[in-house]
Structure 1
């Protein structure tokens, strides 16, 4: 009961911004995921996963259960993490870890937001437990983590390469460990193929994802050069905009000219006047990203053939930029809520709309309150990354410790590539996962302290081993 209580309380600690706000945090895209259960169900730029997944929690009545459930899932994963890699779980050790993450990292802002961003750390922690912490898990927990990883990877397309990278690093523990991680990856792929076949009539992981790749290449200037070189012979609709695409290229948002969270690729994708959303005659193009996706794929392929080295260098720069973009803030202001969320919540009833409007985020009163608390996250993230590296190296004789640290680092790098290079660097994409480095450092520090106490000859209920099942684990029992 104490363990259950610690897990529940830890979950609530990890969503404290929702309580401070007086309502779950929402983002403009939150409305799209709510729309997935209101109809029409399929949206061209988002997998049909997260919206249906949270439906049993809100039932078109209240969003409040959603962040609570997300916090509890993360809390349970952290409990398993301490058990497998931290020398053994106990209520005190678990609550200490949750308190550090809640007070000093971006974790609670991700968990408290009605967005699939929370699925990225869920995928990472589940995969590392399946690969390197299996000895500490029961069969039921193993099955649960497999389902979590599959749903999490399918909920956001950027999670697929992250999970794929973790399959590779899992090979360090052997083929069986890699197979345990590859299984949810296969499940996520099957789920995406099936839902896209039903909803879009195409057996594809991302039927219209080429539009996002095109936007990134336009923002880097590479696709602009392709259009200039191939048009009008190519016959693309973008040929009509030849000579005018520079408005969405590298000079579209020079430093200081645009908000930090607005990129040239965002302008290209979502500006009503952009070539994506206007046809050759200047008329509005309905669902422009979807309509342009076939042509977008052709331009992307032509650009890769024309300038492969430049594409690779651009991807490397965007990956590095994403690694350095981890701030909380671009989802806390009222301007990011949008009328779209409000319209979707009208189906929940006037009481829920009133709760949204009463929240500090909607009133633009949340950011001034939390801003003084956010400065510490940067230094803590740097210290956490350094501590993870040091503790992982010092514990290299216990291979699971080093592999665990390596897996966390590779996951952050894979996320930076999948988001920064393929979509565009945003703080939200980095903040959602960077905190796992701090979590890993604290977990390994707990393990080191338990080993030090054990070596000194004093009894320690927390001491355990990664190589075998920790004392008190279901496997050991």
Structure 2
């Protein structure tokens, strides 16, 4: 069959689009860092960077992610951003392909829309675990649902990526574990829609991620242990809700706690207590207070179950609404700056010269768009699920929408209940809802075009 001139031109144009996208999209995905002149840093970045050098475990700082950052030091951490950018684009296109919706123009349009209207490029431009939270949800979905439409190499890559993401942060591991548990519970009702092999592989990523984390902890600290800090973070949230003060008032007359003398002077926020200049420092921080905080957390759950349940539901609801981009990413990051200057002096000069370190990064303008887009995306996701339920349409896109909805709820519960509501925890996950909504809209437009 002969090929017409118009067909040749169309193929050439498509090939040009593909080449342009292959070059431009990875750079645009980390455009905030390129504009900043250095990878974006956050309050917590220094704690991860220091793990290689300090050789001991600290609360909520994954050694796995610390090692990942360490291996990028010689390249000014730009190699880390390259990995994050390429991994993001790979998972976006692979998801579209598994859904049967992959077209070059559609992929470029959706990618650009996400870059302009969500926190995604800011997350990809940052030396922090947050980019892997949302990406891991897509990877887990692809492992389960896309088993018959992905190659062996892709399955291995998805497995390794998901296990790594689980090892970077306990909240991410918790969300993935919850998704797997939900998958096993509904599988008897869905049968072949959730293949046994895919669900098993997805579940094993949690095991692999846990082993990865414990192994890294042992390699760096000599301790065969999980990353510490769970009780301290939960204690901070309970203190913020007033539960700790009530518990101390009830117990201190007959029991001796280190915090009893301070029960009427507790800080108003968990962040002020754990990271500010509070009695927590005076009493030995985590080393001196971990046992007592654990006791108070466990006992207060028993003593005030209704109060705890109400506080948890409020925190979860509030967390769903905390979605602004950029929390903790400003010019005031003294710990992270100090870690870089002490342990990686070669990076000190370019770090100091960046816009962020000179207070040139402001998220007010981007959040004018990001926040309403995020909130609208969650509402649209609910509408999408309601329409699918009404029409009894359970296709792969609906399964993805269900997966993302459960991930958002799980993330809000884990982060809101344990750490307390923060914009950072919402922003790192909600962009996936926008991706699902854009994908559904693209499919609808495609169906309308075919109908014409």
Q: The TM-score by the shorter chain falls in which range?
A: 0.7 to 0.9
Q: Select the residue among 287, 290, 294 that pairs with 2:287.
A: 290
Q: Select the residue among 384, 388, 401 that pairs with 2:377.
A: 384
Alpha-carbon distance in 2 for matches of 1:308, 1:198:
40
Alpha-carbon distance in 1 for matches of 2:379, 2:295:
43
Residue pair 2:48, 2:62 contacting (<8 A) in 1 also = no
Alpha-carbon distance in 1 for matches of 2:19, 2:310:
49
Query: Does 2:434 align with 1:441?
Result: no
Residue pair 1:31, 1:340 contacting (<8 A) in 2 also = yes
- Tell me how far 1:76 sits from its aligned partner: 0.7
The equivalent of 1:39 in structure 2 is: 54
Q: What are the Cα deviations for residues 219-262 of structure 1, in whole angstroms up to 9, with x where unaligned? A: 111122212222254333223323333xx2xxx2xxxxxxxxxx
- Tell which deviates more after alignment, 171-180 or 149-158: 171-180
Residue pair 1:3, 1:90 contacting (<8 A) in 2 also = no
Q: How many residues end up aligned between the 2 structures? A: 426
The equivalent of 1:17 in structure 2 is: 32
Residue pair 1:27, 1:115 contacting (<8 A) in 2 also = yes
Tell me, what secondary structure is at the counterpart of 1:26? coil
Query: Does 2:272 align with 1:267?
Result: yes
TM-score by length of 1: 0.83
User: Structure 1: which 5+ residue stretches go unaligned?
Assistant: 253-263, 280-284, 457-477
- Tell me how far 1:449 sits from its aligned partner: 3.1
- Tell me how far 1:299 sits from its aligned partner: 0.9
Aligned Cα RMSD in Å? Answer: 2.4
Q: Select the residue among 95, 113, 129 that pairs with 2:108.
A: 95
**1:214–1:64 Cα change, 3 Å:** same
Q: Select the residue among 395, 399, 402 that pairs with 2:395.
A: 399
Q: What are the Cα deviations for residues 253-297 of structure 1, in whole angstroms up to 9, with x where unaligned? A: xxxxxxxxxxx001111123x232113xxxxx3xx1233112211
- Tell me how far 1:4 sits from its aligned partner: 7.5
Query: Does 2:331 align with 1:334?
Result: yes
User: Structure 2: which 5+ residue stretches go unaligned?
Assistant: 1-14, 188-193
- Tell me how far 1:394 sits from its aligned partner: 4.4
Residue pair 1:146, 1:184 contacting (<8 A) in 2 also = yes
Residue pair 1:327, 1:431 contacting (<8 A) in 2 also = yes
The equivalent of 1:255 in structure 2 is: none
Alpha-carbon distance in 2 for matches of 1:126, 1:37:
28
- Tell which deviates more after alignment, 145-154 or 164-173: 164-173
More helix by share: 2
Alpha-carbon distance in 2 for matches of 1:343, 1:191:
25
Residue pair 2:60, 2:170 contacting (<8 A) in 1 also = no
**1:168–1:371 Cα change, 3 Å:** same
The equivalent of 2:120 in structure 1 is: 107
Q: What are the Cα deviations for residues 46-81 of structure 1, in whole angstroms up to 9, with x where unaligned? A: 12110102322223x512222222111111110111
The equivalent of 1:258 in structure 2 is: none
Q: Select the residue among 428, 431, 452 that pairs with 1:432.
A: 428
Alpha-carbon distance in 2 for matches of 1:242, 1:101:
47
